[in-house]
Amino acid sequence: MKTNEVLENIKARRSVRAYTEQQVPEEDLRTILEAATYAPSGMHLETWHFTAIQNVSKLAELNERIKGAFAKSDDVRLQERARNKAYCCYYHAPTLVIVSNEPTQWWAGMDCACAIENMFLAAQSLGIGSCWINQLGTTCDDPGVREFITALGVPVSHKVYGCVALGYGDPKIPMKEKKVKADTVTIVK
Ligand SMILES: Cc1cc2nc3c(=O)[nH]c(=O)nc-3n(C[C@H](O)[C@H](O)[C@H](O)COP(=O)(O)O)c2cc1C
């Protein structure tokens, strides 16, 4: 198998779920956000928006609003999360990027996924850990959540397709070795 810096970076990336308090420097955050904007998008529409939050109390408030939406759910597991004081959907990462898009095109979520992977890989190349955070996808239209994310800068017509937690992985938590599933590839010649 061939290898190079890009391929090694792809293989080294892991989801990080425990972070130190150290903030991501602004230049690094801007570099990661720029990588997002270079992702492919259907018909090159680029209707996406990236709302980056680096404010600890605003992130905590967002988590509370998401828990408020979970409390209204019929799903017992989500109700439990709403009651759990320790639950933090973004794992206390110091930075969270909300990735949103106009829901008018059926591929809007795919555009966002391409941008999110670009951010993961750019972060990895800068020594910054990341994780996909999905909880705003199902709660962004809850009135309490919507009011808050609108104030943060998420366009009102947008749906949230994912969020990216960014920060430095807690060195006390060892990174799990990644095993990839066999037999998921077919080559036809
Ligand atoms: C669409 C999508 C949604 C995900 N949502 C979450 C999430 O809400 N919280 C979380 O901790 N990880 C989430 N993940 C991360 C996956 O659990 C993770 O990528 C998978 O376990 C493989 O591990 P790796 O990223 O370390 O290779 C999500 C990943 C994808 C692609």
Residue 132 alpha carbon to ligand 1 centre in Å:
5
pLDDT above 90 for 176: no
Separation of alpha carbons 53 and 153, rounded Å: 10
Three-state SS at 58:
helix
Give me ligand 1 centre to Cα 30, in Å: 23
Alpha-carbon gap, residue 117 to 128, rounded angstroms:
14
Residue 76: the pLDDT is 98
Q: For residue range 96-116, list pLDDT tens digits in order.
A: 999 999 999 999 999 999 999
Q: For residues 77-115, b (16+ Cβ closer than 10 Å) or e, as one string?
A: ebeebbeeeeebbbbbbbbbbbbbbeeeeeebbebbbbb
> What percent of the chain clears pLDDT 90, i.e. is strictly above it?
98
Pick from 63, 132, 121: nearest CA to 97: 132
Pocket test for ligand 1, best of 66, 132, 181 (most atoms within 8 A of CB): 132
For the CA of 17, the nearest atom of ligand 1 = 11
Q: Using 50, 70 and 90 to split pLDDT, how confident is the model at 149?
A: very high
| pLDDT bucket at 25, cuts 50 / 70 / 90 | very high
The single-letter code of the amino acid at 57 is S
CA of 130 to the centre of ligand 1 (A): 10
pLDDT tens digits, residue range 51-99?
999 999 999 999 999 999 999 999 999 999 999 999 999 999 999 999 9
Structural domain span for residue 22: 13-54+89-167
Average pLDDT, the chain: 98
Per-residue pLDDT tens over the stretch 115-131: 999 999 999 999 999 99
- The pLDDT, as a whole number, for residue 175 is 87
97 three-class SS: strand
**3 found inside a domain:** no
69 within a domain of the structure (yes/no):
no
| CATH number where 103 lies | 3.40.109.10
Query: What single-letter DSSP state applies at residue 165?
Result: E
26 within domain boundaries: yes
- Domain-embedded: residue 95: yes
Residue 143, pLDDT > 90, answer: yes
Q: What is the pLDDT of residue 51?
A: 99
Q: Closest Cα partner for 17 from 76, 77, 78, 93?
A: 93
Answer yes or no: is 80 within a domain: no
Contact 97, 24 (CB under 8 A): no
Cβ–ligand 1 distance for 116 under 6 Å, the answer no
Give the pLDDT confidence score for residue 86 in this predicted structure.
Answer: 98
In a domain, 118, yes or no: yes
CA distance linking residue 123 with residue 75, whole number of Å: 34
138 lines ligand 1 (CB under 6 A): no
**In-domain check, residue 1:** no
Region 130-134: mean pLDDT is 98
Number of domains in the chain: 1
